[in-house]
Amino acid sequence: MARRKIGLIGAGNIGGELANLAVSRELGDVVLFDIPAKENFAKGKALDLEQATALSGADAKVTGTSNWADLAGTDVLIITAGIPRKPGQSRDDLVETNLPIIRNVADNAKKHCPDAFVIVISNPLDAMVYEYKRRTGAPRAKVVGMAGVLDSARFALFLAREANASVKDVRAMVLGGHGDDMVPILSHTTINGIPVQKLVSKEALDKMIDRTRKGGGEIVTLMGTSAYYAPAISAIEMAEAYLGDQKRVLPCAALLEGEYGYSDLYMGVPVVIGAGGAERIVALDLTAEEKGMLAKSAESVQKVRDLVKSKA
Ligand code: APR
């Protein structure tokens, strides 16, 4: 079988780490795409990564380009094109800059790699992935957004540290929009099957929930730009689930068509990812409190979606 092809739109901080992980896991050959002004930068990064394979032993080609024709035949397309947050900005503040970019990317991807499984990372995530799907008309199983895996990972790390447990044993689930009112689902968060409330006090949990919600912002404040290692590995887990038909249950932004009581909305829900893409949305029994928090989060996501829809 020919090697799979991973297309990365945006060769910046997340794009570079995505390429690094895709190569080291030998997911396939990697095409690192950026705008013409950054073509040499993309080519340089690709060359650096490819030279590293002579030492790591990974069999993968890495190409840098600003030519969409090089994306033909892409199996997985991961989109980070856009401007990241600066200190003091919310994700929603990025609509003005990132909306024209996602539209440009959608038009080109539709033309050059219409069959790819697409993972959007650009912020504001839920609105950008919505716009990508609307603009391309691709099947909903083929277009998802990366947010829940990252938000859940952040929550899982804080829980592991607080409970003095291994990160391997923590199963955390964060759903809803990728914003300050994302919803940690405590009823489905365990330390190796043990309900988290048995091991961690309510006070500590509340603090960790707050820190998770502001987790991206904490890093923006420290670094002056947004996170990239954890976002990249989150998307790679999703890509690998698709390429390996792993049927993993991962929290992803998926198009809701009645699930959880919402329609025409991309929002974080548990999704089975396999060779069919987003094969199934899993319905969880949420507590009344969780449903309430999800409704609040959905309201915020709907506002940004409506803003995006209103802009011609
Ligand atoms: N097509 C392709 N690439 C583009 C386009 C476009 N139309 N417009 C911008 N880019 C590129 C930029 O040139 C830049 O190299 O996207 C890249 C983004 O890289 P960084 O600025 O390093 O940003 P990064 O940290 O990777 O984050 C990208 O992901 O998490 C989100 O909020 C974050 O929206 C931001 C995105």
Pocket of ligand 1 (CB under 6 A): 9-15, 33-35, 38, 80-82, 84-85, 94, 98, 101, 104-105, 121-123, 225-226, 228, 231
Would you say residue 152 has pLDDT above 90?
A: yes
Q: Which residues carry out catalysis?
A: 178
Among 35, 102, 178, name the best residue to mutate to test ligand 1's pocket (greatest count of ligand atoms within 8 A of Cβ): 35
Q: How far apart are CA 226 and CA 78, in angstroms?
A: 17
Q: Tokens 């990372």 correspond to what residue?
A: 121
Q: Which residues are CB-neighbours of 184 under 8 A, at least 6 positions away? A: 155, 172, 173, 174, 209, 212
Per-residue model confidence as pLDDT tens digits over 166-214: 999 999 999 999 999 999 999 999 999 999 999 999 999 999 999 999 9
Domains in the chain with CATH codes: 5-145 (3.40.50.720), 148-310 (3.90.110.10)
Q: Tokens 């094969």 correspond to what residue?
A: 279
Would you say residue 90 has pLDDT above 90?
A: no
Ligand 1 center to 250 CA (angstroms): 24
293 and 181 Cβ atoms separated by less than 8 Å: yes
Q: Supply the mean pLDDT for the chain.
A: 97
User: What's the average model confidence in pLDDT over 242-265?
Assistant: 98
